[in-house]
Structure 1
Amino acid sequence: MCGIYGTTLNYGQKVFDKKLKRIDFRGPDFTGIQSYKTEYNTVTFGHNRLAILDLDARSNQPFTYSEGIHIVFNGEIYNYLEIKAILVNQGHTFRTTSDTEVICAAYLEYGENCVEHFNGMFAFVIYDEKQQLFFGARDRLGQKPFYYYHSGTEFEFASQISAIRLEHKNLSISNKAISNYMVWGYIPDPDSIFTEIKKLPPGHSFTYHLPSGGFKQHKYWDIDYKGQNIFQGSYEDAQEELEVLLTDAVKKRMIADVPLGIFLSGGIDSSLVAALASKSTDKVKTFSVKFNTKSVDESLYAQEVAKHLGTDHHTIECNYEEGLDIIKNISHYYDEPFSDSSAIPSLLLAKHTKKHVTVALSGDAGDESFLGYHRYNWMSIAEKFYKIPGFLRPLITGPMGAIPSYKSNVVANVLKSKSLNDAYIKMMVGGTNGEWYHRPEHDIIEPYRDYLYHNNKNIYERISDFDLKTYLNGDINTKVDRATMAYSLEARSPFLDYRVVEFGRSLPTSYKFLKNNQKRILKDILYKHVPKELFNRPKAGFTMPLAEWFRSELKEYVLDELSTEGLKEIPGIHIGKVQTIIKQHMAHKANGSYTIWKLLVLKQYLNSIN
């Protein structure tokens, strides 16, 4: 994985060097900048390389293929060897053993449809001299980022927004983006924190015509949210087919010319990845993170799984001092406001894992495809309440709302919604923001409404589809990409293989979620390799002790950044209500850590660009 950059703007060599330097943590092995003169303007491509395949300098980028094809590419094409074999039979020649060259040859053979042949995580741009255009694409599920600025014949793109922002004079903070951040905790595609910079959505390609400045976007892939492809086999058939798919997805992601390991939390998904990987190679290296706070220490479970599988396991201990340093610099790596606090342990895990390996497999996306989140179980409870006539529901929600419990208050608030769809949205965005923030007037789930508001599937499949298009892309994939690339570490998730996602979407709900047994099919596959007894515990998230830190080691930092003057710099908030949340938190009267962290991240980001 790497950092890519390109533009039609003629900044000059010093500025190009500065822009690539800003994101060189994404690829420290080689930085390349190349300009190509056209009769209309000069095109410049830049690349920060993290060498994974074909470590030789011949695969450095920007890379030029035959017939005037130039490329900058971030990511991996896992099936490149199969594609390469087909292209060789069709007369294409290769001088490297990289997947970069395969993309170029596939483009010449298949044109814009080449992306349909790729199984991988990627963001790339090809400059086609003959056609005088850029052709670019982003992978199906949004694992690799792609930002771009377009204004007529001015076009600029990069893996991270900071490379575009540097020396750019025409950018303004987007009020809509801040509103979305306050609701979601991240900024959903296609918007960015700047009004003039956009994100290419997952599963999309584009063409940019240099002479005219014309930009066209094309969706080449989507999930089957209409429910047209339903698996017809038995549960046993599904288990067998899914295990074959996952085994192949793991094997493909273990191809590398550098050391490789696995993130092992001790949960279902990462344990299954580790188990399947251990079948095909000796002594896999595994890594987990441990906090010096017992309430959030899940490392013992990972150690038990590692012991059973016989992996070379490493437990990374996290303390306050190291966490504080990352907290105060998170905006440098995330480039946009991003408030998922599990970014901190993710950064720490990546930092120390990099000391041992350059590639790490993860279990990300198992929850979305196989109905693993707690909130899916909550929706099964809510569904029962929605069978009660609407005029009777207040008799239940009223008493529940009076109970001094966060969970009961959330459930009561959710059940006031008109439909299960509305209830899920309210659950996802939280029921308390409206007390301290002016809710946005725009549609907060557009352009993703079609994945939830229809009757083609049951509520569980609809919310799973919706999460795949929103939370997985905007939160999980963003968190993992920025955390790992901050330390030049490549993360690969077999559950993000589009074949696995499509198969998961085709399965009957009961194969995934039956009688409170979430991720049923994954568990049954896992228990073939690891004893069931190791997983008889509640599901735990990748959390950290922010609530405690905000009252102790980080208290001064919070009160300084979110002082009255500091809060005035954050648009749209009720300062008095925010101050009440902070005071109650410090006095142990309530847990306001979620709100405090969200505002700290935004404040830090605004500080960094002023």
Structure 2
Amino acid sequence: MCAIYGIIGQNNIELLKKMSASQIFRGPDSQEFYDHKETNVSFGINRLAVIDRELGIQPMLSWNKKFILVFNGAIYNFREIKKVLLKKNINFKTNSDTEVVVNSYAFWGDQAFNYFDGMWACCIYDIEKHKIILSRDYLGQKPLFYYKDKNKFIFSSQIGGIFLGENNFSVKPENLKKYYAFSHTPAPFTVYNNIFQLKPGEILSISTKNLEVKSKIFWDISDGPDFNEYFNNNHFNTFKSGFTEIVLKHSIADNKVGLLLSGGKDSNIIKKNLEKRYKDFKTFTLGFEEETYDESKYIKKDNQLNSIIKILSKGDIINNFKKISNNFDYAFGDSSILPTFSIFNEVAKSTNVAITGDGGDENFFGYITFDAFYLAINLKKILPNFIFKYISNLFNLFSNNDEYISTSKKIKLFFKFLHCDLKYLNLHWLNNLNNRDLNELSGLKSFEQNSEYEEIELLFKKSGNLMRFCQLYYFKFYLPLILNKIDMASMLNSVESRAPLLSKDVLNFSLNTPIKKNYKFFNNKYLMNKIFKDDLSDDQKKRKKHGFAFNTSILIKDRDIINSFIKNNFLSNKEFFYKKYDDHLINKDDNSQYIWNELILNICRQNNER
């Protein structure tokens, strides 16, 4: 993992160095720059050295000396690709995946990105054709932001790097509404009017002569799997045998990898497969003092060896929030950033690379909302909306509590929005805001009629199967929230985070598997249980999806903290916020997600716009 950043159209090495310094945590091992004054092209890299520390230095030149690369990420199948390129008489000087990226692009061009199994955000300078190529992986695991005006094009791994070059941005109401709706701003948008991010699977080409920008998508997962000579159509039997190899590819590093281990299925399956080659790797588990939030008891019960268990106290949570709040620049509303930061902080004491279980819920239907959506589909076939509204009003009479996803909380939320259009159900369930709330916050017209949300409409029409739509919804609109959290939490600790269950082979397998074989109502991760039945104990198979959450009331019900961090001039609707906040304090409604979103956005704006 690293930070990359650059300026096209202006020569400003001092700005480049400031951009580097502002995100040093992403790459503390070395900081290198390329600066070509004649063409006004300059870019840099803050490197976290994970593979080939001595020789994998960037910027890196291709074998034919026509391309220069700075690269943030990891390519897990780089050894297979390297073997092919060696047979084509392409020479290599390092053992790094970075050199495979630049030489692959030099040989195949844009098609190379379809051959990579990995996560990345990269910049390639095509010296002969006078253009910069920016690319982001197909799921958007690595961030890359950019800004363009008539004189320059700036890009940066952290959005805060853009503000070092320009600071005249205003918040765009349409994008602000997206933020409140999704708890982040789906690419290519940010909350700001002229700052964008590359979409997952996008390639941008920028002319160094006139700054003309061209865009193309090398893979949109809503189009289905992307099979090619490096990615075969794996069926049920071959997928199980191939998964061990996927996990082992994710463990290639100079240092021994650590594993983030929960009580759930995903990380325990990965652990079983890691053990087929390694016996002495460390696992890292986080626990909480409150029993309903704590999963560490499962690790103790399973008698895991080499396991480091960190129990977070209320004081730890508050201190960590204060510690990392100065680094918030891109707003995303995943409160588990705090426990995730804490567990990566433990990892950093032992290694600089860790494996996680992220991706299992999206690929194998692990979220409880999949069952809720399936139930909603069938209820809507037999009951009119006024019945749902009546039931919702009944549940509104019940107060909320701070237990982790209590049954009453789930039922109340389910019926609260059941009268909404199917395509918007998941959105409302996840943010607990209705259309009127979203309109009031942004000052825009009716949510469903707003063209800014046409991507949901298009996905709904394109998907064909309703449960496939639901799965793709979580890939496109919820997974980015998790990926932003993982990237930020790991990078603040200078640790590279890898997710085998987000491998392209796993993704292809899931997208190619008929829904009826992958999903069963109230049979959590049915297909995963079937494939990996020998890797899980009976107890692990029966455990319900928990999630990596903490009791946010520790922070958001503390008026002193809210008053200390919230600045009223950055609230989009002051009256709305304090009404929601007061209702939350008396348990009239669960507004925790909205309050957290508002808190993080407020802090980000303070940090960016000072």
Question: Does TM, scored on the shorter chain, surpass 0.5?
Answer: yes
CA-to-aligned-CA distance 1:130-188 (integer Å, 9 cap, x gap) = 11111221111111111111234511111111112113245333333222111111111
CA-to-aligned-CA distance 1:338-393 (integer Å, 9 cap, x gap) = 21111111111111111112111111111111111111111122122111154xx4
Alignment of 1:137-536 (within 5 A): 137-152=135-150, 154-225=152-223, 238-305=235-302, 307=303, 311-388=305-382, 390=384, 393-403=385-395, 404-405=397-398, 406-417=409-420, 419-432=421-434, 434-435=436-437, 437-438=440-441, 440-441=444-445, 442-454=450-462, 456-457=464-465, 459-473=466-480, 475-536=481-542
In structure 2, the residue matched to 1:606 is: 605
CA-to-aligned-CA distance 1:553-584 (integer Å, 9 cap, x gap) = x331124445xxx435312x2x3443233334
Provide the C-alpha distance between the structure 1 equivalents of 2:519 and 2:186, rounded to a whole number of angstroms. Answer: 28
In structure 2, the residue matched to 1:5 is: 5
Change (3 A) 1:303 1:170: same
Provide the C-alpha distance between the structure 2 equivalents of 1:179 and 1:591, rounded to a whole number of angstroms. Answer: 20
Amino acid at match of 1:341: S
Provide the C-alpha distance between the structure 2 equivalents of 1:135 and 1:581, rounded to a whole number of angstroms. Answer: 45
Work out whether residues 266 and 303 of structure 1, in 8 Å CA contact, stay in contact via their aligned partners in 2: no
Provide the C-alpha distance between the structure 1 equivalents of 2:529 and 2:12, rounded to a whole number of angstroms. Answer: 55
In structure 2, the residue matched to 1:233 is: none
Work out whether residues 153 and 211 of structure 1, in 8 Å CA contact, stay in contact via their aligned partners in 2: no
Number of aligned residue pairs = 585
CA-to-aligned-CA distance 1:525-573 (integer Å, 9 cap, x gap) = 333023112343332111111124444xx331124445xxx435312x2
Amino acid at match of 1:383: I
Provide the C-alpha distance between the structure 2 equivalents of 1:303 and 1:421, rounded to a whole number of angstroms. Answer: 41
Work out whether residues 268 and 526 of structure 1, in 8 Å CA contact, stay in contact via their aligned partners in 2: no
Change (3 A) 1:456 1:118: same
Does residue 558 (structure 1) correspond to residue 562 (structure 2)? The answer is yes
Provide the C-alpha distance between the structure 2 equivalents of 1:304 and 1:446, rounded to a whole number of angstroms. Answer: 47
Work out whether residues 371 and 460 of structure 1, in 8 Å CA contact, stay in contact via their aligned partners in 2: no
The root-mean-square deviation of aligned C-alpha atoms, in Å, is 2.4
Shift of 1:74: 0.4
Change (3 A) 1:607 1:431: closer
SS at match of 1:82: helix
Work out whether residues 382 and 415 of structure 1, in 8 Å CA contact, stay in contact via their aligned partners in 2: yes
Amino acid at match of 1:605: C
In structure 1, the residue matched to 2:56 is: 59
Provide the C-alpha distance between the structure 2 equivalents of 1:222 and 1:196, rounded to a whole number of angstroms. Answer: 24
In structure 1, the residue matched to 2:571 is: 570
Work out whether residues 76 and 120 of structure 1, in 8 Å CA contact, stay in contact via their aligned partners in 2: yes
Work out whether residues 26 and 494 of structure 2, in 8 Å CA contact, stay in contact via their aligned partners in 1: yes
Work out whether residues 225 and 456 of structure 1, in 8 Å CA contact, stay in contact via their aligned partners in 2: no
CA-to-aligned-CA distance 1:403-435 (integer Å, 9 cap, x gap) = 234544433332212x42243443344344734
In structure 1, the residue matched to 2:547 is: 541
CA-to-aligned-CA distance 1:249-295 (integer Å, 9 cap, x gap) = 11110111112111111111111111111112112211111122222
Work out whether residues 141 and 498 of structure 1, in 8 Å CA contact, stay in contact via their aligned partners in 2: no
CA-to-aligned-CA distance 1:293-332 (integer Å, 9 cap, x gap) = 2221111113334x3xx54111112123332233235454
Does residue 29 (structure 1) correspond to residue 36 (structure 2)? The answer is no
Shift of 1:190: 0.4
Work out whether residues 7 and 44 of structure 1, in 8 Å CA contact, stay in contact via their aligned partners in 2: yes
Work out whether residues 224 and 502 of structure 1, in 8 Å CA contact, stay in contact via their aligned partners in 2: no
Work out whether residues 112 and 135 of structure 1, in 8 Å CA contact, stay in contact via their aligned partners in 2: no
Change (3 A) 1:407 1:519: closer
In structure 2, the residue matched to 1:15 is: 15
Change (3 A) 1:429 1:528: same
Shift of 1:336: 1.4
Change (3 A) 1:183 1:455: closer
Provide the C-alpha distance between the structure 1 equivalents of 2:568 and 2:434, rounded to a whole number of angstroms. Answer: 18
Alignment of 1:101-140 (within 5 A): 101-140=99-138
Amino acid at match of 1:85: K
Amino acid at match of 1:578: F
Work out whether residues 11 and 41 of structure 2, in 8 Å CA contact, stay in contact via their aligned partners in 1: no
Shift of 1:217: 0.8
Amino acid at match of 2:604: Y
**Can you give the 5+ residue segments of structure 2 that lack an aligned partner in the other structure?**
228-233, 399-408
Work out whether residues 118 and 503 of structure 2, in 8 Å CA contact, stay in contact via their aligned partners in 1: yes
Provide the C-alpha distance between the structure 1 equivalents of 2:172 and 2:325, rounded to a whole number of angstroms. Answer: 17
Change (3 A) 1:524 1:284: farther
Amino acid at match of 1:427: W
Provide the C-alpha distance between the structure 2 equivalents of 1:476 and 1:157, rounded to a whole number of angstroms. Answer: 22
Identity across aligned pairs (percent)?
Answer: 27
Work out whether residues 431 and 594 of structure 2, in 8 Å CA contact, stay in contact via their aligned partners in 1: no
Provide the C-alpha distance between the structure 1 equivalents of 2:581 and 2:598, rounded to a whole number of angstroms. Answer: 11
Work out whether residues 245 and 500 of structure 1, in 8 Å CA contact, stay in contact via their aligned partners in 2: no
Work out whether residues 432 and 591 of structure 2, in 8 Å CA contact, stay in contact via their aligned partners in 1: no
Provide the C-alpha distance between the structure 2 equivalents of 1:228 and 1:117, rounded to a whole number of angstroms. Answer: 9
Provide the C-alpha distance between the structure 1 equivalents of 2:14 and 2:576, rounded to a whole number of angstroms. Answer: 47
In structure 1, the residue matched to 2:580 is: 581
Shift of 1:602: 1.8
**Can you give the 5+ residue segments of structure 1 that lack an aligned partner in the other structure?**
230-236
Shift of 1:448: 4.4
Work out whether residues 128 and 134 of structure 1, in 8 Å CA contact, stay in contact via their aligned partners in 2: yes
Provide the C-alpha distance between the structure 1 equivalents of 2:536 and 2:215, rounded to a whole number of angstroms. Answer: 45
SS at match of 1:517: coil
SS at match of 1:446: helix
Change (3 A) 1:320 1:415: closer
Work out whether residues 331 and 601 of structure 2, in 8 Å CA contact, stay in contact via their aligned partners in 1: yes
Change (3 A) 1:601 1:9: same
Amino acid at match of 2:458: D
In structure 2, the residue matched to 1:234 is: none
Provide the C-alpha distance between the structure 2 equivalents of 1:561 and 1:248, rounded to a whole number of angstroms. Answer: 46
Shift of 1:472: 1.0
Amino acid at match of 1:148: Y
Provide the C-alpha distance between the structure 1 equivalents of 2:585 and 2:388, rounded to a whole number of angstroms. Answer: 33
Amino acid at match of 1:468: F
